[in-house]
């Protein structure tokens, strides 16, 4: 169990790199929804939709490919330098193309010229630091990774408060400050934070002698490009609704929908923390004889914790709503939260299952599964939003991730069987869904809701107490 102990320890540290920034973002959501009209918040959302799309395009699966080959290669320096040079060159070429067709591209993505230029700056800087960040994870340096990530978000949050709160409140004389276009300062804060991160990671650019190896590059590219396509499909699954809603239902609805979507961030934090710790662990542990049993155990506890979060957040949804999205004009979309939470839990299970095609070098399956999800997202949204409104977007997300999860399990058991305790996993998942439905019908009675949360914890204790005791004894 020492292997599991190390996994959970690293995941907790990586979790800090995810949880603390997201918690800081929780501070920003009330600030943004208070200072920005729903239409401006929609512009903010659109900016980050395109950021997510181009970020996947500019990294083209190199991060995951780096983990795969770095973990098993004897020539680690060549893997590092080839991946780093590749991403740096493509990022700079992208910058040159954008400069050449700046106004046309800004019009194409329907962003103001100034917003678009800030977006490009963030994208290029973030793409270049992907491999140094991946190197820190692959070499087991979660504390340094976390420290740099936290410095990035600290700068971003501080500048947000300076521009959106301090300047108006204290009448600070800031050159060319435009109180009628506050959303631009969110993007400026992001660019400054990305610049500082780049400077902090600069020493890692010279960690090894830089040498571009064509053979290694082809191996990385062949492994990574299906990951890129899968990533683009994932961006569609996550953001197509927020891209479509402004044109169908208007910016105000999209702003409200996007604001309430943030409440599901707790589940997203958990999933991201898991991924940061799990991906290098799964690759490094794959040669161990008990690897598949370890993966099965991790999956079970992932589902337990995720299911608990589902019940807990829904039980106290009114509290989270009031803390995170204070402006009541956003609450018209609050009904999406339980659906999005469950959708993200399905996504987390899918990420856990996805190790089979990464370990067997069948990354094209990840691409196929993500494309299936994207098709479901696009078709469902295009047909149903006009019929039932923005709630269709939430159901589309659940349908897409649910299908991806089931298909990944089916194909994974054929190509890389893992002895998942399916009865226990489905039992926890089903129990959390049933308890959540009951919670939604208690009229916010917190006594009953708290009792239902305790019921779930009691169920876990009864079923897992023997194994938990064994784990504690072995690790003591």
Q: Is 464 exposed, middle or buried (0-12, 13-18, 19+ CB in 10 A)?
A: middle
Q: What is the pLDDT of residue 180?
A: 85
Contact status, residue 168 vs residue 206, Cβ threshold 8 Å:
no
How much of the chain, in percent, has pLDDT values that exceed 70? Answer: 90
Residue 153 neighbours by CB distance under 10 Å: 20
Phi-psi region at 171: left, alpha or beta (left = phi > 0; alpha = psi -120 to 50): left
Q: Which of the two residues, 20 and 154, has the higher pLDDT score?
A: 154
Q: What is the pLDDT of residue 285?
A: 64
Looking at the predicted structure, is the pLDDT value of residue 1 above 50?
A: no
Looking at the predicted structure, is the pLDDT value of residue 149 above 90?
A: no
Q: Give 411-466 pLDDT, tens digit per residue.
A: 999 888 889 999 999 999 999 999 999 999 988 888 999 999 999 999 988 888 88
Beta-carbon contacts of residue 372 (< 8 Å; ≥ 6 apart): 400, 403, 404, 407
Q: Distances from the Cα of 474 to the Cαs of 3, 48, 49, 103, 309, in angstroms? A: 11, 45, 46, 62, 28
pLDDT band at 5, cuts 50/70/90? low
Q: What is the pLDDT of residue 181?
A: 86
Length of the chain: 476
Least confident of 304-308, 321-325, 454-458, 467-471: 467-471
Q: Distances from the Cα of 296 to the Cαs of 223, 302, 421, 437, in angstroms? A: 25, 10, 7, 28
pLDDT band at 294, cuts 50/70/90? confident
Q: Give 89-144 pLDDT, tens digit per residue.
A: 999 999 999 999 988 888 887 788 888 999 999 999 999 999 999 888 888 787 88
Q: What is the pLDDT of residue 15?
A: 59
Q: Distances from the Cα of 230 to the Cαs of 277, 404, 424, in angstroms? A: 20, 11, 29
Q: What is the pLDDT of residue 46?
A: 78
Please tell me what DSSP assigns to residue 6.
H
Average pLDDT of the segment spanning 259-275: 79
What does pTM read for this prediction?
0.72
Beta-carbon contacts of residue 235 (< 8 Å; ≥ 6 apart): 49, 52, 53, 56
Looking at the predicted structure, is the pLDDT value of residue 208 above 80?
A: no
Contact status, residue 138 vs residue 70, Cβ threshold 8 Å:
yes
Q: What is the pLDDT of residue 415?
A: 86
Average pLDDT of the segment spanning 255-263: 84
Phi-psi region at 333: left, alpha or beta (left = phi > 0; alpha = psi -120 to 50): alpha
Q: Give 54-86 pLDDT, tens digit per residue.
A: 888 899 888 888 887 887 777 788 888 999 999
Looking at the predicted structure, is the pLDDT value of residue 250 above 50?
A: yes
Average pLDDT of the segment spanning 365-384: 91
Q: What is the pLDDT of residue 436?
A: 93
Average pLDDT of the segment spanning 34-49: 78
């Amino acid at each position: 169990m020492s292997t599991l102990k190390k996994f959970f320890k690293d995941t907790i540290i990586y979790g800090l790199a995810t949880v603390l920034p997201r918690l800081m973002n929780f501070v920003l959501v009330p600030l943004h929804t208070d200072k920005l009209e729903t239409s401006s918040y929609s512009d903010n959302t659109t900016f980050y939709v395109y950021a997510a799309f181009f970020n996947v395009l500019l990294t083209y699966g190199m991060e995951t490919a780096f983990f795969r080959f770095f973990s098993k290669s004897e020539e680690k320096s060549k893997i590092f330098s080839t991946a780093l040079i590749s991403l740096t060159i493509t990022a700079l070429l992208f910058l040159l193309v954008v400069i050449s067709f700046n106004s046309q591209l800004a019009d194409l993505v329907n962003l103001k010229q100034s917003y678009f230029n800030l977006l490009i700056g963030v994208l290029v800087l973030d793409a270049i630091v992907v491999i140094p960040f991946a190197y820190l994870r692959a070499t087991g340096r979660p504390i340094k990774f976390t420290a740099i990530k936290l410095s990035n978000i600290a700068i971003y949050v501080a500048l947000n408060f300076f521009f959106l709160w301090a300047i108006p409140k204290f009448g600070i004389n800031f050159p060319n400050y435009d109180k009628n276009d506050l959303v631009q300062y969110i993007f400026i804060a992001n660019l400054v934070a990305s610049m500082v991160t780049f400077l902090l990671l600069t020493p890692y650019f010279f960690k090894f002698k830089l040498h571009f190896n064509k053979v290694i590059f082809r191996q990385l590219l062949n492994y990574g490009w299906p990951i890129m396509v899968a990533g683009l499909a994932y961006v569609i699954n996550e953001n197509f609704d927020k891209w479509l809603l402004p044109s169908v239902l208007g910016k105000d609805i999209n702003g409200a929908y996007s604001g309430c979507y943030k409440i599901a961030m707790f589940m997203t934090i958990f999933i991201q923390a898991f991924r940061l710790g799990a991906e290098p662990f799964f690759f490094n542990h794959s040669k161990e004889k008990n690897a598949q049993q370890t993966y099965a155990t991790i999956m079970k506890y992932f589902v337990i914790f995720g299911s608990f979060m589902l019940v807990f957040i829904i039980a106290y949804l009114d509290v989270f709503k009031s803390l995170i999205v204070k402006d009541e004009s956003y609450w018209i979309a609050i009904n999406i939260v339980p659906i999005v939470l469950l959708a993200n839990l399905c996504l987390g299970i899918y990420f856990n299952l996805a190790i089979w095609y990464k370990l067997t070098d069948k990354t094209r399956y990840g691409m196929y599964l993500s494309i299936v999800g994207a098709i479901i997202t696009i078709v469902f949204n295009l047909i149903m939003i006009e019929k039932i409104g923005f709630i269709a977007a939430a159901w589309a997300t659940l349908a897409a991730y649910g299908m991806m999860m089931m298909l990944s399990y089916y194909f994974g058991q054929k190509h890389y069987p893992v002895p998942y305790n399916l009865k226990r996993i489905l039992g926890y998942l089903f129990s959390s869904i049933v308890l959540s439905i009951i919670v939604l019908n208690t009229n916010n009675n917190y006594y009953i809701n708290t009792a239902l949360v305790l019921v779930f914890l009691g169920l876990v204790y009864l079923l897992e107490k023997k194994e938990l005791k064994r784990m504690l004894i072995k690790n003591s």
